[in-house]
Amino acid sequence: MVPERRTNESWLPEIFNDFFDNRWMERVNYSAPAINVKENEKEYEVEVAAPGLTKDDFKINLDTEGNLVLHMEKKQEHKDERKHEHFLRREFSYEQFHQEFALPENADIEKISAHMEHGVLNILIPKLTPSEVKKNIRQIEIG
């Protein structure tokens, strides 16, 4: 999979923009948060920038294909409780974000955890050891 090169623009910055463009990593809307994915010997960590959001704004689950699904929905409405005034303008906002992550075969899906701290949602995905990964692989006999 090689990103296409545009002839009227500089190649190096554009290859990164093309790869993370909607054609390669689709995002539902324009207000998608910044996401980092880190790896060490024991786990993968997904960091989602979530300033002003709470843990109640997020839903995290595994879909039927084994993908990690992150969904965020935030509704805000500013109401003025003064009954004697007629509103010409009322402030409200609605944000929604949906992202799916294909998990590697060594992800321990039974031990995935998440927590919010200082405006960042952290999702920890422990790794299976190589021997545990081999246990999940089996040969299927052809009858």
Boundaries of domain holding 55: 33-70+101-135
Antiparallel, parallel or unpaired: β 113-117 and 120-126? antiparallel
pLDDT tens track for 65-78: 889 999 998 877 66
Specify the number of domains making up the chain: 1
CATH code, domain with 109: 2.60.40.790
Residue 32 vs residue 119, higher pLDDT? 119
Answer yes or no: is 15 within a domain: no
Radius of gyration of the chain from Cα atoms? Answer: 21
Query: What are 24's two structure tokens?
Result: 């390669």
pTM of the model: 0.64
Answer yes or no: is 13 within a domain: no
Answer yes or no: is 25 within a domain: no
